[in-house]
């Protein structure tokens, strides 16, 4: 019990305890966004004046008014442009967008994300996202009584570095301090783990408007560990709408691609039909002059393929982590599209258990983010919670022969730092070019190039004597920093990897699939490349030794013989005959053994000649 | 509406006012802060404000602003010694919960 003393007038307020930090969690979704905040360990989503928690991720720009976020204003289309699903464009290139969009895009000067045409000018997806974030932050600030000190923003687990960076940039543009970017399934796990003390191995099935994520998580005593992630960054409830819309076009007998405006109307009809089928067995649909009925059976035939795609991703994730469906303690549903009875049905059948949806699947991510924001902002609650995330694909560097040397393995928990020592390949080599790669394949050409940089100032030493330590560091947000340092001289170089376009989910999936199917061929190729490098290394070493001491230590015949073998091996190393290269390398090695011994003797003789044993510092 | 002092508390306030050499009395108030929502303010009074309410107990003026009074109505201020600690303590009938240290409270 505190006892009080009387303070001087106006002085007592200085003793007030530190202000609780205003922190919020933001689920920046493709279709809808939410903001939530935690109070005394309980999180709740914040609602607008109408009691709506979901903010449609649509920004309406007009030439005269400030951007409007949410349900589009009923303005004339000539005066306003409504931009939706902008999340799909974040960190993406123009070439990546191969589906119809209800607005026009154009290439940005100098590459990067495409610009969106609006009546208020050309805007980058980052600017549109920033407008959404600004709106959500204002809602959060109003609820908490002041500007937010920090936010946690959720992103799909599969968002690559470019997409994460774009999200970060949007937050900065909106004037927000990002405490952390948190992957959506991880946020959902936080919500369940902290609120309801769920423990065990859990699969998070997140089917949102535009993205599908599946994450296998292990929850243990408040520690969240992502065992494996997978998904499809371009599959979601929007695709269900699109499938219905295309069916409508076909049913209505319309052959040509509809104009933007008609397409938007068509999607609205499709969405209403989809929602209707949640409860009804069939719904009446009408488009243009055509009228008809969409039955559940037809709807299922349209979307079952999409759902099966998600289940295949689940299967891959289970296989990656070597977990059987029966070992799972729970299946958690996240995302508005999981409200669909068909999705729940198929997920339940696939995993052999009824999925969990005790927290509103649309709010669960924002709630988890809010809890995490509360912890990260330094508000006492749950301060011990440690969150582990993983990197989706291995990271490494290129080594001689075009091989990928993995430094951080796929599915390593982040933050992580790993080092490996490399050395020079040629005598007197003073610089080294480092090529940072991401992927699972053995050869550089099959992996994704992330960055290149040079390390200079390596002291000129014989091949293999210099020690270059390469360190890969991935921070908690998944951003990669690679540094290289020559250990004797201390020269170092660093690169922060921010690719202009990162990997897409499809790329990641393809790369993984290729890594499995090409495993055998890759192994053979790696062996060949290793033999080739080995052979050439011997050739180089012998050549410089011959130039230096050949005349002094060898007879003319010996020199001829070695030179001939040397040329033979050099020619053979260019072919793909791995075994022949190996045996010839072996033969050259044997032939040059005597020469090597003589060189060593000569070296020792030179070092010791004319000196007394006591003077020699052995 | 009233805030009271125990006679022991009044003696200590009088002694402290005398030692300070000036002051009309003490001000008791609340601020919206602290881990349980509200915290007490206890200060000497050199100037009164227009809306202030004054309660006189054992010759000591206790000044309370009207906003604070709704949270403090019926409060008795006491002076206690516990071990080596001594100081003022509040018995506030409006309090529903207190934080562990007793510095803040909720109503």
Which ipTM did the prediction report?
0.79
* Whole-number average pLDDT of chain B: 81
Task: For chain B, report the end-to-end CA distance as a whole number of angstroms.
Answer: 17
Q: How far is A15 from chain B (nearest CA, A)?
A: 10
Q: Looking at beta carbons, which residues of chain A come within 8 Å of B11?
A: none
Query: Is the alpha carbon torsion for A538, A540, A543, A544 positive or negative?
Result: negative
User: Is A589 in a helix, a strand, or coil?
Assistant: helix
Architecture of domain A520-608: Up-down Bundle (1.20)
Binning pLDDT at 50, 70 and 90, where does residue A55 land? Answer: very high
Q: Looking at beta carbons, which residues of chain B come within 8 Å of A8?
A: 43-44
- Would the CB atoms of B33 and A6 count as touching at under 8 Å? no
Q: How far is B71 from chain A (nearest CA, A)?
A: 18
Q: Which CATH number is associated with domain A391-517?
A: 2.60.34.10
Q: What is the DSSP letter of A550?
A: I
Task: Kindly tell me if the per-residue pLDDT of A295 is higher than 70.
Answer: yes
Binning pLDDT at 50, 70 and 90, where does residue A310 land? Answer: very high
Task: Kindly tell me if the per-residue pLDDT of A224 is higher than 50.
Answer: yes
pLDDT value for A498: 54
* B82 inside 8 A of chain A by CB: yes
Q: Looking at beta carbons, which residues of chain B come within 8 Å of A5?
A: 42, 87-88
pLDDT value for A503: 46
Higher pLDDT, A345 or A601: A345
pLDDT value for A58: 92
pLDDT value for A510: 65
Percent of chain A with pLDDT over 70: 85
Task: Kindly tell me if the per-residue pLDDT of B93 is higher than 90.
Answer: no
- Cβ-in-10-Å burial (0-12, 13-18, 19+) of A64 comes to exposed
Express each pLDDT in A311-355 by its tens digit: 999 999 999 888 998 888 889 899 888 988 899 999 999 999 888
Task: Kindly tell me if the per-residue pLDDT of A194 is higher than 50.
Answer: no
Express each pLDDT in A114-156 by its tens digit: 888 888 888 889 999 999 999 999 999 988 888 898 999 998 8
Interval A515-542 mean pLDDT: 78
* Whole-number average pLDDT of chain A: 82
* B51 inside 8 A of chain A by CB: no
Higher pLDDT, B88 or A41: B88
How many beta-carbon contacts under 8 Å exist across A and B? 61
Interval A163-186 mean pLDDT: 86
Name the residue in chain B with its Cα closest to that of A7: B43
- Would the CB atoms of A5 and B88 count as touching at under 8 Å? yes
pLDDT value for A237: 87
Interface test with B, best of A1, A8, A21, A378 (most B CBs within 10 A): A1
Express each pLDDT in A235-244 by its tens digit: 888 899 999 9
Q: Which CATH number fits domain A23-237+302-389: 3.90.170.10, 3.30.420.40, 3.30.420.10, 1.10.10.1800?
A: 3.30.420.40
Interval A170-180 mean pLDDT: 88
Q: From residue A156, how far is each of A101, A183, A370, A560, A598 by CA, in Å?
A: 21, 5, 16, 64, 64
- Would the CB atoms of B44 and A9 count as touching at under 8 Å? yes
What six digits make up the tokens of A546? 């011959």
The bridge status of strand A80-83 relative to strand A68-69 is unpaired
Binning pLDDT at 50, 70 and 90, where does residue A24 land? Answer: very high
pLDDT value for A367: 93
Task: Kindly tell me if the per-residue pLDDT of A502 is higher than 80.
Answer: no
pTM over 0.80: no
Q: How far is B11 from chain A (nearest CA, A)?
A: 13
| Least confident span in A160-164, A170-174, B10-14 | A160-164
- The answer to whether residues A421 and A376 touch, using CB atoms and an 8 Å cutoff, is no
Task: Kindly tell me if the per-residue pLDDT of A74 is higher than 70.
Answer: no
- Would the CB atoms of A17 and B103 count as touching at under 8 Å? yes
pLDDT value for A476: 67
Q: Which of A8-17, A61-70, A224-233, A277-286 has the largest mean confidence?
A: A277-286
Interface test with B, best of A4, A7, A10 (most B CBs within 10 A): A4
Q: How far apart are CA A552 and CA B45, in angstroms?
A: 104
User: Is A343 in a helix, a strand, or coil?
Assistant: helix
Catalytic amino acids of A? Answer: 27, 87, 184, 206
- Would the CB atoms of A16 and B34 count as touching at under 8 Å? yes
Range of the domain at B90: 4-106
Please report, for the domain that includes residue B69, its CATH number. 2.60.300.12
* A17 inside 8 A of chain B by CB: yes
* A556 inside 8 A of chain B by CB: no
* A6 inside 8 A of chain B by CB: yes
- Would the CB atoms of B41 and A11 count as touching at under 8 Å? no
**Number of domains observed in the structure of chain B:** 1
pLDDT value for A570: 87
| Least confident span in A7-16, A155-164, A584-593 | A7-16
Maximum C-alpha span of chain A: 109
Interval A219-232 mean pLDDT: 72
pLDDT value for A490: 78
A480-486: strand order across its sheet:
A416-422, A468-474, A480-486, A492-497
Q: Looking at beta carbons, which residues of chain B come within 8 Å of A7?
A: 41-44
Omega of the bond prior to A608 within 30 degrees of 0, cis? no
Strand positions, DSSP E, B1-107? 4-5, 25-31, 38-45, 53-57, 60-64, 76-82, 85-91, 97-98, 104-106
Interface test with A, best of B87, B91, B92, B97 (most A CBs within 10 A): B87
Helices A161-173, A125-144: axis angle to 10 degrees equals: 60
Q: Which residues pair with A386 in a beta bridge?
A: A223
* B13 inside 8 A of chain A by CB: yes
| Least confident span in A7-21, A362-376, B28-42 | A7-21
What six digits make up the tokens of A585? 């390398």
Q: From residue B45, how far is each of A15, A587, B49 by CA, in Å?
A: 18, 101, 10
Q: Which long-range contacts (CB under 8 A, 24 or more apart) does A301-306 make?
A: A302/A240, A302/A243, A302/A244, A302/A247, A303/A240, A303/A243, A303/A342, A304/A342, A304/A346, A306/A235, A306/A239, A306/A240, A306/A243
Binning pLDDT at 50, 70 and 90, where does residue A289 land? Answer: confident
Enumerate the domain spans of chain A: 23-237+302-389, 391-517, 520-608
Task: Kindly tell me if the per-residue pLDDT of A161 is higher than 80.
Answer: no
Q: From residue A614, how far is each of A604, A605, A610 by CA, in Å?
A: 16, 16, 12
């Amino acid at each position: 019990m505190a006892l009080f003393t009387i303070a001087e007038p106006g002085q007592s307020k200085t003793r007030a305890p530190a202000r609780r930090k205003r922190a919020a969690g933001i689920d920046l979704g493709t279709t809808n966004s939410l903001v939530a905040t935690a109070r005394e360990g309980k999180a709740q989503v914040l609602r607008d004046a109408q009691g709506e928690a979901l903010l449609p991720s649509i920004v309406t720009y007009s030439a005269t008014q400030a951007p409007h976020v949410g349900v589009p204003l009923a303005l004339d289309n000539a005066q306003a442009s409504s931009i939706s699903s902008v999340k799909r464009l974040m960190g993406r290139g123009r070439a990546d967008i191969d589906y119809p969009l209800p607005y026009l895009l154009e290439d940005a000067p100098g590459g990067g994300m495409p610009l969106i045409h609006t009546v208020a000018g050309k805007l980058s997806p980052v600017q549109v996202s920033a407008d959404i974030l600004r709106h959500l932050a204002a809602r959060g600030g109003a609820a908490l009584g002041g500007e937010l000190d920090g936010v946690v923003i959720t992103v799909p687990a599969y968002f690559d570095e470019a997409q994460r960076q774009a999200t970060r940039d949007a937050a900065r543009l909106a004037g927000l301090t990002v405490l952390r970017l948190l992957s959506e399934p991880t946020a959902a796990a936080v919500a369940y783990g902290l609120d309801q003390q769920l423990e065990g191995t859990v699969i998070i099935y997140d089917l949102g408007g535009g993205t599908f994520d599946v994450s296998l998580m292990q929850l243990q005593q408040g520690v969240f560990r992502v065992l494996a992630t997978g998904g499809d960054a371009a599959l979601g409830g929007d695709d269900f709408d699109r499938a219905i819309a295309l069916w409508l076009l076909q049913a209505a007998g319309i052959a040509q691609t509809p104009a933007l405006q008609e397409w938007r109307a068509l999607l609205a009809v499709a969405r209403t039909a989809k929602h209707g089928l949640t409860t009804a067995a069939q719904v009446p649909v009408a488009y243009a002059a055509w009228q008809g009925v969409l039955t559940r059976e037809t709807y299922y035939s349209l979307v079952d393929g999409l759902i099966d795609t998600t289940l295949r991703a689940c299967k891959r994730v289970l296989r990656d982590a070597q977990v059987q469906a029966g070992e799972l303690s729970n299946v958690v549903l996240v995302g508005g599209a999981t409200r669909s009875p068909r999705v729940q049905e198929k997920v339940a059948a696939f995993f052999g258990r009824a999925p969990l949806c005790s927290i509103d699947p649309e709010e669960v991510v924002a709630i988890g983010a809010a809890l995490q924001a509360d912890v990260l902002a330094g508000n006492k609650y749950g301060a011990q919670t440690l969150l582990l995330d993983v990197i989706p694909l291995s990271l490494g560097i290129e080594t001689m022969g075009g091989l990928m040397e993995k430094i951080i393995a796929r599915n390593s928990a982040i933050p992580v730092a790993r080092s490996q020592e490399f050395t020079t390949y040629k005598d007197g080599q003073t610089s080294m070019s480092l090529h940072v790669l991401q992927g699972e394949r053995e050869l550089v050409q099959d992996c994704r190039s992330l960055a290149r940089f040079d390390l200079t100032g390596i002291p000129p030493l014989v091949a293999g004597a210099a020690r270059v330590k390469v360190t890969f560091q991935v921070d908690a947000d998944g951003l990669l920093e690679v540094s290289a340092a020559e250990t004797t001289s201390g020269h170092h170089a660093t690169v922060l990897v921010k690719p202009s376009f990162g990997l897409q989910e499809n790329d990641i999936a393809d790369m993984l699939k290729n890594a499995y199917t090409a495993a055998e061929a890759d192994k053979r190729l790696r062996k060949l490349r290793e033999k080739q490098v080995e052979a050439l290394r011997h050739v180089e070493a012998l050549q410089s030794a011959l130039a230096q001491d050949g005349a002094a230590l060898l007879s003319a015949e010996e020199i001829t013989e070695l030179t001939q073998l040397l040329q033979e091996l050099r020619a053979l190393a260019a072919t793909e005959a791995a075994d022949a290269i190996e045996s010839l390398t072996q033969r050259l090695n044997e032939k040059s053994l005597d020469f090597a011994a003589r060189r060593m003797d000569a070296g020792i003789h030179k070092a010791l000649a004319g000196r007394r044993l006591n003077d020699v510092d052995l | 509406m009233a805030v009271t002092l125990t006679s022991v508390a009044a003696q200590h306030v009088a002694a402290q006012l005398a030692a300070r050499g000036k002051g009309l009395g003490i001000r008791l108030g609340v601020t919206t802060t602290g881990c349980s929502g509200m915290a007490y303010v206890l200060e000497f009074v050199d100037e009164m404000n227009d809306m202030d309410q004054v309660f006189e107990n054992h010759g000591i003026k206790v000044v309370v602003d009207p906003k604070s009074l709704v949270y403090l109505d019926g409060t008795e201020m006491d002076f206690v010694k516990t071990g080596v600690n001594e100081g003022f303590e509040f018995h506030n009938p409006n309090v529903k919960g207190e934080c562990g240290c007793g510095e803040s409270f909720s109503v």
